[in-house]
Amino acid sequence: MKAKVLSSAGILTGLLLCLAAASVVSVTFLHSNLRLFVPLGFAVVLIALGARFGGLVSVLGSILAAMVFAYRLFPPLGSLKVQEATARENLGWMILASVACSYLLFPPRIHHK
């Protein structure tokens, strides 16, 4: 029971860190010419979080980060719809890269009873 609570707390901590990092990055690069490449660079952050908190954090974190970037970084701001095709593609690549790397580098742990 204690292991499940610690695991859940770790997952929640990892997701909150991911959400905070995506928010800070989206504000930082809002008016930058490099904002189209932010999701690709953020995949590194997601993989690092996956290494620390497990693959589930990387998978769920990539979805959360994509939503934050769509809402706060790419036009139209304040909507989950992304107008630019390149931005949509980069969000998709970010999700794909973080999920694939998480499962390849950090396979799910099998718990024996």
Name the residue among 23, 95, 93, 89 with its Cα closest to residue 59. 95
pLDDT of residue 55: 85
Each residue's pLDDT tens digit, 32-85? 999 889 999 999 999 999 888 888 888 999 999 999 999 999 989 999 999 999
Task: Inform me whether the pLDDT recorded for 5 exceeds 60.
Answer: no
| Contact by Cβ (8 Å): 65, 17 | no
The residue count for the chain: 113
H-run or E-run covering 46: helix 38-53
Q: Structure pTM? A: 0.85
pLDDT at 24 over 70: yes
Residue 30: pLDDT over 60: yes
- How high is the pLDDT of residue 72? 93
